[in-house]
Amino acid sequence: NAGVMQNPRHLVRRRGQEARLRCSPMKGHSHVYWYRQLPEEGLKFMVYLQKENIIDESGMPKERFSAEFPKEGPSILRIQQVVRGDSAAYFCASSPPLAGVEQFFGPGTRLTVL
């Protein structure tokens, strides 16, 4: 059973460009979470999605950030018009549809904004 897949692993963008981060959850997992880790900090929750639904986006910045988890295909975290402050590691995690079970993390995407 393959783990959580994220791509790309490293992404470099110039200020003003768009960044698209992809996450494929583990087989059988219908819940996806996105977290952001700034340098020397812990992970901060951004958004929680189920197939075709955003359940909790309380951690998402109000502008430029969006997330989706379509019926088919990976979950996408999209950052429009990136700024240097968006430079961070973005982690995706997935879990089966049971509350309280552990979340399995992907290897993360390191975004660098020049």
Partner 1 sequence: AQTVTQSQPEMSVQEAETVTLSCTYDTSENNYYLFWYKQPPSRQMILVIRQEAYKQQNATENRFSVNFQKAAKSFSLKISDSQLGDTAMYFCALGSSNTGKLIFGQGTTLQVKP
**From the list 54, 59, 96, 112, which residue makes contact with partner 1 (rule: CB under 8 A)?**
59
63 Rama sector, left if φ>0, alpha if ψ -120 to 50, beta otherwise: beta
Q: Which helix or strand (DSSP H or E) is residue 110 part of?
A: strand 109-113
Per-residue binding letters, 62-101, with partner 1 (x by CB under 8 A): ---------------------------x-x-x-x---xx-
For 20-76, give the DSSP string.
Answer: EEEEEPPTT--EEEEEEE-TTS-EEEEEEEETTEEEE-TTS-SSSEEEE--SSS-EE
Nearer to partner 1 by C-beta: 14 or 100? 100
Shortest distance, CB of residue 21 to partner 1, whole angstroms?
A: 15
| Total number of residues that touch partner 1 (CB under 8 A) | 25
Binding site for partner 1 (CB under 8 A): 31, 33, 35, 41-45, 48, 55-56, 59, 89, 91, 93, 95, 99-100, 102-105, 107-108, 110
